[in-house]
């Protein structure tokens, strides 16, 4: 006879997290999760990190997930605690980050009665989650959590919210965790169709000007190795989106760097003149395509993605392949090997295409002119790359510094760039770095921020210090909301409406107030010394660089322009 110990719902929830291998949780306690936190006191194997704001906690769980590939977990109380997570949830949804967010809720009998700190978080988050669950019975906790984690990590990953009423946390039940789960209507196709793979390889070998266009799906799908093998076998050039950086090593001769609005000239020209685009885990968003009616006018398109709704969503597609990116690329490698007799001729025929690409690279490389008196942000980024560890994890906030990082840092490994792509969330950089550092205490983690975004979650300095998380915070300070200012300069006759941030913040004193170290560089000769000082410190550090105030991110494709209509100098 089997005996099952009764336990309360809060403990059942935590036992579920243990079963899913969760080792780190970012959460903020409150009245409707107090029972959960009381049980958490006994779960020493789950490391809990207390952020200073629920939005930051959600971003931290996001950073943890992006850096590790595991599901990130965040906890918040009901009402304002839950609504504070929404920006972090939407950020994760847009960038397909696997997360489970557990929110407290008022007792089930009070739901809908405008009880204290009640909010319909299910309704609020429905548009920006893969699914939102409300647990109404203690018997449903285990199955619900199994479904939540399965949904979060399978197919196209994403955030799942679980709303957990207080009375369900207190109710008694038995714990049975299911080994597997079936969700009606949710059957992600992970295996690419062999016939479609054959057609894709045939189209590639028949092309003369092919380009691999790689998005974040290649990183999420752990397909970097297969992608690199395939590209090198075929000698086909590779360009990545912002989210795809690191999926293909940028120090490889086949790399074109990032494409799109602030992409490299050679990448945008290659896309505009290609006769075949192999899209891999990318979604053809507007920052990449520019004016849709003129995008890649000569190219056929192969589109590989695990999410069938992403295929044909924005552009016509000649050959769709639905499946896990790593699975499809591995099958393509085998198919290329079967066609090895055709490879020498195909590669020889790429000579004129490669010559065109080499000419574009030489004609308009990513460049800047460093003066002796003013710090150029690109110079700081390059120095950071030169002096940082090979496996350093870089997170960014959103704005000019994000684009300079994408252009000049040169990423060679997947999961080493954490940045908000789809939603463009200011305030993401510092807490996402916090999550990555919690996952990898011994790796170098650097967050690159502007003076605007860094202040949106600066309170997490306290979390870094308290938890001994040695994140290095780089602030490129131009006393502007730089990207908006750039648009105002170029398109609004320099009417700098509400973009000047003239109040001088003493970040060195701020670091000291939190118990951290701070260093400041005001001229180019101080940049390297400040970076070295910051890297030598064992704890969290702020490194502030006073950069050229009106430096622009170039190249730039203006809104509504074609991809090849780049502003190169302004």
Catalytic site residues? Answer: 54, 116-117, 166, 483
Which residues on neighbouring strands pair with residue 105, listed in sequence order? 165
C-alpha dihedral sign at 271, 279, 406, 387: negative
Q: End-to-end distance of the chain based on CA atoms, in angstroms? A: 80
Residue with tokens 């998380």: 469
Task: Determine the Cα–Cα distance for residues 467 and 501; give it in Å rounded to an integer.
Answer: 31
Burial of 485 (C-beta count, 10 Å sphere; 0-12/13-18/19+): buried
Task: Determine the Cα–Cα distance for residues 67 and 416; give it in Å rounded to an integer.
Answer: 7
Task: Determine the Cα–Cα distance for residues 562 and 144; give it in Å rounded to an integer.
Answer: 47
Q: Structure tokens of 295?
A: 């995008």
Residue with tokens 């196209």: 156
Phi, psi (5° rounding) for residue 409? -75, -35
Task: Determine the Cα–Cα distance for residues 402 and 449; give it in Å rounded to an integer.
Answer: 8
Task: Determine the Cα–Cα distance for residues 240 and 406; give it in Å rounded to an integer.
Answer: 10
Burial of 539 (C-beta count, 10 Å sphere; 0-12/13-18/19+): middle
Which residues on neighbouring strands pair with residue 473, listed in sequence order? 447, 542
The helix/strand/coil state of 289 is helix
Q: Structure tokens of 409?
A: 């840092």
Using the CB atoms, write b or e for 549-559: b if 16+ within 10 Å. eebbbbbbbee
Three-state SS for 389-456 is: CCCCEEEECCCHHHHHHHHHCCCCCCCCEECCCCCCCCCCHHHHHHHHHHHCCCCCEEEEEECCHHHH
Task: Determine the Cα–Cα distance for residues 494 and 185; give it in Å rounded to an integer.
Answer: 53
């Amino acid at each position: 006879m089997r005996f099952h110990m009764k336990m309360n719902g809060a403990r059942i929830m935590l036992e579920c997290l243990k079963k899913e291998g969760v080792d780190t949780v970012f959460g903020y306690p409150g009245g409707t999760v107090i029972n959960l936190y009381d049980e958490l006191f006994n779960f020493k194997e789950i490391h809990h990190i207390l952020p200073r704001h629920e939005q930051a906690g959600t971003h931290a769980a996001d950073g943890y997930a992006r850096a590790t590939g595991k599901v990130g977990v965040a906890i918040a109380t009901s009402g304002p605690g839950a609504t504070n997570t929404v920006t972090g949830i939407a950020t994760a949804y847009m960038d397909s980050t696997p997360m489970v967010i557990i929110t407290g809720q008022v007792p089930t009998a009070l739901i809908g009665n405008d009880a204290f700190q009640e909010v319909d978080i299910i309704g609020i988050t429905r548009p920006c989650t893969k699914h939102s669950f409300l647990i109404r019975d203690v018997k449903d906790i285990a199955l619900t959590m199994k479904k939540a984690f399965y949904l979060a990590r399978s197919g196209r990953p994403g955030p799942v919210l679980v709303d957990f009423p207080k009375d369900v946390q207190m109710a008694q039940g038995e714990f049975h965790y299911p080994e597997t789960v079936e969700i009606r209507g949710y059957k992600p196709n992970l295996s690419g169709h062999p016939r479609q793979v054959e057609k894709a390889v045939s189209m590639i070998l028949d092309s003369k000007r092919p380009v691999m266009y790689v998005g974040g799906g290649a990183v999420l799908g752990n397909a970097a190795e297969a992608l690199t093998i395939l590209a090198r076998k075929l000698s086909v050039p590779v360009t990545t989106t912002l989210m795809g950086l690191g999926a293909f090593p940028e120090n490889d001769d086949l790399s074109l760097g990032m494409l799109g609005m602030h992409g490299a000239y050679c990448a945008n020209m290659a896309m505009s003149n290609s006769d075949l685009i192999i899209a891999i885990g990318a979604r053809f968003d507007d920052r990449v395509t520019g004016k849709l009616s003129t995008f890649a006018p000569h190219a056929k398109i192969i589109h590989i993605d695990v999410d069938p709704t992403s295929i044909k969503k924005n552009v016509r597609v000649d050959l769709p392949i639905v499946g896990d990116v790593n699975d499809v690329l591995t099958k393509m490698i085998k198919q290329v090997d079967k066609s090895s007799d055709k490879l020498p001729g195909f590669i020889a025929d790429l000579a004129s295409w490669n010559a065109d690409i080499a000419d574009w690279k030489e004609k308009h490389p990513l460049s800047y002119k460093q003066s002796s008196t003013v710090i150029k942000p690109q110079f700081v980024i390059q120095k950071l790359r030169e002096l940082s560890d090979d496996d350093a994890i870089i997170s960014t906030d959103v704005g000019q510094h994000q684009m300079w990082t994408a252009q000049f840092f040169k990423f060679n490994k997947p999961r080493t760039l954490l940045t908000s792509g789809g939603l463009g969330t200011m305030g993401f950089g510092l807490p996402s770095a916090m999550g990555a550092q919690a996952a990898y205490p011994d790796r170098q983690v650097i967050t690159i921020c502007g003076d605007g975004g860094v202040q949106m979650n600066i309170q997490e300095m306290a979390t870094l210090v308290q938890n001994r998380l040695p994140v290095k915070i780089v602030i490129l300070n131009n006393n502007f909301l730089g990207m908006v200012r750039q648009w105002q300069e170029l398109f609004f006759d320099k009417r700098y409406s509400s973009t000047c941030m003239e109040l001088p913040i003493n970040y060195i004193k701020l670091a000291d107030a939190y118990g951290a170290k701070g260093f400041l560089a005001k001229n180019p000769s101080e940049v390297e010394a400040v970076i070295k000082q910051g890297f030598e410190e064992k704890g969290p550090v702020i490194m502030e660089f006073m950069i050229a105030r009106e430096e622009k991110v170039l190249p730039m494709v203006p809104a509504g322009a074609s991809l090849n209509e780049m502003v190169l100098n302004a």
